[in-house]
A and B are shown apart, each in its own frame.
Chain A
Amino acid sequence: MSKFRNTVMWAGLTLIIALIFLSIYGAFLGAERAQKLVNSLPVSVYWLAFILILTAGLAVFRRLVRVPALSLIHFGCVLILAGSMWGSDAGHRLQSQLFGIDKVRTGQMVIYEGHSENLVALEDGEQIKELPFSIKLKDFRLEHYKPEYLRVQTRNGESWKVPVEVGTEFYLGEDFGTVTILRAFENFQIRIEGEERIVTDEPQSGYNPALEVEIKHPDGDVASRYVFERFPGHIHPEDEFLLRYHRIIRDYVSELDIIEEGKVVAAKNIEVNHPLYFGGYHFYQHSYDAEAGQYTVLMVTSDTGLGLVYAGYVMLCVGVLWQLWFRGVFARMKLKSK
């Protein structure tokens, strides 16, 4: 190996080893601090050095260019690094200074049902920026796994999972009688008018899921109870059972319209794993109003640099499989069969 090539190779190996230790150190810091660290100035210099050495490698090792699989691997790595630097905070600042492209890198939007919004709160929590279009939330909803269950537990720990089927009687055994769910509420509300207590379900105005349950004791006593999902653990001193209404969330769904100059130009229901892509941004279901179910929180991220990173991923995967499987592992099969 010529001296220069040897130096490049050692430099490459040293950078790889340094990144192993940096990753492990970062794992001890936790995601947030690790992210700060890798975006810091010294580590940015490190990323540039990595790109430089990879490029130098491509320049001085002719095989890295001549063997297509090897050039896909190493060039792919260059693209991934370059793409992620281009898409970083610093990359966005640079583009705004150089080309006047003023894009939000990442932030959050809070949108109320029936309203439209174009303001994004940036990550630092202080600045607010405007998008060139707005997003309207038609509806936000939680979906739960079916069947839902009411958990019934005795004071000495015996328990049942009663499927939520309104009107169906569920037999708990000779000693305990039966349980029937009389009604399921999305938003339980109660008013007192004179002597009367009026119970209603008002799904439009809030979020307080509840069940009305009737318990028939074997000796003929009948008791009726309300069980609230958001306020578990209620038990009257005379009650035989602890009742819990516990549902498992299957999905969060925001129904959105994109509005540009007063016109709806796109519509999509976003869920976890199904973001919306529009105007150079991805919009994700991020959080929601757990108190009243009235608003959704979207995460917004810019797509700058993403194309480069993805192209790099494809090149890296194709190159690695080609080089190591088809040239390395399976090439010997051909030899053998000859």
Chain B
Amino acid sequence: MEIKYTVQGLLIYAAMGAYLVAFVTTLLRRRKTGQTLYLLGFVIAVLSYGYRWYDVRHVPLQNLFEVFLCMGMIYPVTLFCYRILRVGGGCGDMLIGVIVLFPAGFVFNAEPQRLPPALQSWLFVPHVAVYMLSYIFMAKATFQAISQLTGKSYDSDEKLLPPEEATYRMICAGFGLLTLGLVLGSWWGKVAWGDYWGWDPKELWSLASWLVYVGYFHFRYMFGKKQQRINSTWAIAGMVVIVVTLLWVNLSRLFSGLHSYAT
């Protein structure tokens, strides 16, 4: 834990504060105020990301600090899902915003780094960006799955999908990106290290998370909506494996491998 007394740090804390207050206000049924605060948090999160970009002079997706900072700009995804995909959970997204900014604000080191040779590739940005976007969709799916399991829905809007179907739709959106991320990563591995698949721990965890969703699709195809609780459990299991993929591999000294510079 460290507090960052820098412009960068202050921007992160301000965005987190706005998201948190937005969340509480929305819970208290002050929807309008909540939305405004959420938008404000987003603007600050964009500023904070832009500031970082200016600071390091390359797309800031190099390490976990930058990746979490990027995921803090979740608002457009909320809007897209609500308006176009008819999936709610905006309130949960505010919380997701706080959760993803927390490690950037308090855990990871923000010291700017030069890009090592292996990361100087045009595949670097799409590979990571696609993964991050997919993780946001999967986080939203998890939120929907939890509301399916607990039977509590925070969305009163008639036009929105019920939680089980919303979970499915979020996973459909996320899985396409997850597949792209995996394939781009594999291709990059071939270009940079000579192998499209190295059986490195990070690769194996990401394969496992991808496969959990493959399992979800087939299970749901076999049983449809007859086993809603199990469908939701698959979705949550997927998120658990994603969190391990993203964090544990980098943080624990248990695994060492090619991806370990990305801390």
Contact A27 B175 (CB under 8 A): no
The docked-state distance in angstroms from the alpha carbon of A333 to that of B211 is 28
Known: A20-B211, A27-B205, A332-B86. A273 touches B195 (CB 8 A): no
Contact B120 A272 (CB under 8 A): yes
Known: A13-B215, A272-B120, A273-B117. A35 touches B199 (CB 8 A): yes
The docked-state distance in angstroms from the alpha carbon of A138 to that of B120 is 24
Partner of B183 from the list A1, A284, A316 (CB cut-off 8 Å) is A316
Question: B9-23 toward A: CB 8 Å interface, digit per residue (1/0)?
Answer: 000000000000000
The answer to the question of B108 belonging to the interface, with a C-beta cut-off of 8 Å to chain A, is: no
Partner of A317 from the list B120, B183, B197, B208 (CB cut-off 8 Å) is B183
Contact A23 B121 (CB under 8 A): no
The docked-state distance in angstroms from the alpha carbon of A305 to that of B180 is 21
The answer to the question of A282 belonging to the interface, with a C-beta cut-off of 8 Å to chain B, is: yes
The docked-state distance in angstroms from the alpha carbon of A313 to that of B200 is 19
* A24 neighbours in B (Cβ, 8 Å): 204-205, 208, 241
* Stretch from A153-161, A174-182, A212-220, A246-254 contacting the other chain: A246-254
User: DSSP class of A's interface residues: helix, strand, loop or mixed?
Assistant: helix
Known: A273-B192, A301-B194. A30 touches B201 (CB 8 A): yes
Known: A35-B199, A309-B196, A317-B180. A23 touches B205 (CB 8 A): yes
CB proximity of A248 to chain B, nearest CB, Å = 5
CB proximity of A126 to chain B, nearest CB, Å = 20
* A313 neighbours in B (Cβ, 8 Å): 183, 186-187
The docked-state distance in angstroms from the alpha carbon of A157 to that of B12 is 30
A-B contact count (CB 8 A): 129
The answer to the question of A328 belonging to the interface, with a C-beta cut-off of 8 Å to chain B, is: yes
Within 8 A of B (CB), among A262-318: 271-275, 282, 284, 286, 299, 301, 306, 309-310, 313, 316-317
CB proximity of A314 to chain B, nearest CB, Å = 8
Query: How many A residues touch the partner, as a band?
Result: 35 or more
Contact B249 A27 (CB under 8 A): yes
CB proximity of A43 to chain B, nearest CB, Å = 11
- Determine the residue in chain B with the shortest Cβ distance to A34: B199
The docked-state distance in angstroms from the alpha carbon of A38 to that of B200 is 12
Contact A320 B212 (CB under 8 A): no
* A95 neighbours in B (Cβ, 8 Å): none
The docked-state distance in angstroms from the alpha carbon of A224 to that of B118 is 38
The answer to the question of A28 belonging to the interface, with a C-beta cut-off of 8 Å to chain B, is: yes
The docked-state distance in angstroms from the alpha carbon of A28 to that of B191 is 26
Known: A250-B117, A324-B172. A12 touches B218 (CB 8 A): yes
The docked-state distance in angstroms from the alpha carbon of A26 to that of B255 is 11
The answer to the question of B76 belonging to the interface, with a C-beta cut-off of 8 Å to chain A, is: no
CB proximity of B207 to chain A, nearest CB, Å = 5
CB proximity of B179 to chain A, nearest CB, Å = 5
The docked-state distance in angstroms from the alpha carbon of A30 to that of B201 is 6
Partner of B194 from the list A26, A275, A309 (CB cut-off 8 Å) is A275
Known: A20-B215, A35-B199. A329 touches B117 (CB 8 A): no
Question: B56-67 toward A: CB 8 Å interface, digit per residue (1/0)?
Answer: 000000000000
Contact B175 A23 (CB under 8 A): no
A-B contact pairs, 9 of them (CB 8 A): A16-B211, A23-B204, A249-B117, A252-B117, A272-B192, A273-B118, A316-B183, A321-B176, A329-B85
Q: A27-B208, A30-B256, A34-B204 are in contact. List 12 more A-B contacts (CB 8 A).
A: A9-B218, A16-B211, A20-B208, A26-B204, A30-B257, A145-B114, A248-B114, A252-B117, A273-B120, A273-B192, A275-B191, A328-B169
Residues of B at the A interface (CB closer than 8 Å) are 84-86, 114, 116-118, 120-121, 169, 172-173, 175-176, 179-180, 183, 186-187, 190-201, 204-205, 207-208, 211-212, 214-215, 218-219, 221-222, 241, 249, 254-258
